[in-house]
Structure 1
Amino acid sequence: MPATIEATLYLKGKPLTITEISEILNEPKESIEQALFALMAEYSQRDTALEIKEKDNKYGLQLRQGLGELVQNLLPVDISGASLRTLATIALKKRILQSDLVELRGSGAYEHIKELVAMNFVERKRQREGRSFWLTLSEKFHQTFTVIPDIKVPENKKAA
Structure 2
Amino acid sequence: MFNLDEVNKVKLTTKIEALLYIKGKALSLAEIATSLQAETETIEEALIELMSDYAHRDSALEIVENNLGYSLQLKSAYETLLKDSIPAELGKGALRTLAAIAIKYPLLQTDLIEMRGSSAYQQVGELVELGFIRKRPQTDGRSYWLEVTDKFHQYFEIDKLAIS
4+ residue runs over 3 A deviation: none
- TM-score, L = length of structure 1: 0.84
Match of 1:149 in 2: 161
Match for residue 132 of structure 1 among 125, 138, 143: 143
- TM-score, L = length of structure 2: 0.82
Length, aligned pairs only: 152
Match for residue 42 of structure 2 among 7, 19, 31: 31
Query: CA offset at residue 151 of structure 1?
Result: 8.3
Match for residue 128 of structure 2 among 99, 117, 139: 117
Q: Report the secondary structure of 1:125's partner residue.
A: strand
Q: Percent identity?
A: 44
| RMSD over equivalenced CA pairs, Å | 2.0
User: Is residue 60–residue 78 contact of structure 2 (8 Å, CA) maintained in 1?
Assistant: yes
Match of 2:3 in 1: none
Q: 1:151 to 1:94 in 2, by over 3 A?
A: closer
Match for residue 56 of structure 2 among 45, 62, 74: 45
Can you give the 5+ residue segments of structure 1 that lack an aligned partner in the other structure?
153-160
Distance 1:85 1:142 in 2: 16
Query: Alpha-carbon deviations, 1:103-153, whole Å to 9, x = none?
Result: 22222211110100111111211112111111122222222223463388x
Distance 1:26 1:14 in 2: 19
Can you give the 5+ residue segments of structure 2 that lack an aligned partner in the other structure?
1-11
Query: Alpha-carbon deviations, 1:2-60, whole Å to 9, x = none?
Result: 22211211222211111111112222212222222222122112212111111237111
